[in-house]
Amino acid sequence: MTRLGLRFYEKPPVGAAGAATAKRKSDAVPQSALEQITAFIPSDALGIYIAGNSIIDPHSGAGKWAIFGVVGCLIPLFVWLTRISVGKQADVAGLDTWLGRRRGFWLSLFGIVAYAAWVAAMPSSPFATIHEKAAQVGAWVAVILSCLLPLLAKRFGVTG
Specify burial of residue 69 (Cβ count, 10 A radius: 0-12, 13-18, 19+): exposed
Q: Apex CA 85: angle with CA 152 and CA 48, to 5°?
A: 70
Q: What is the DSSP string of 108-129?
A: HHHHHHHHHHHHHHSTT-GGGG
The model's pTM is: 0.71
pLDDT at 119: 92
pLDDT at 125: 86
pLDDT at 9: 41
pLDDT category at 114 given cuts 50, 70, 90 is: very high
**Closest alpha carbon to 107 in 126, 87, 81:** 81
Q: Which of 32-36, 46-50, 130-134, 135-139 comes out lowest in average pLDDT?
A: 32-36
**What distance in Å separates the CA atoms of residue 134 and residue 104, rounded to the nearest whole number?**
30
The CA-based diameter of the chain, rounded to the nearest angstrom, is 57
Domain boundaries, given as residue ranges, for the chain: 32-155
pLDDT category at 32 given cuts 50, 70, 90 is: confident
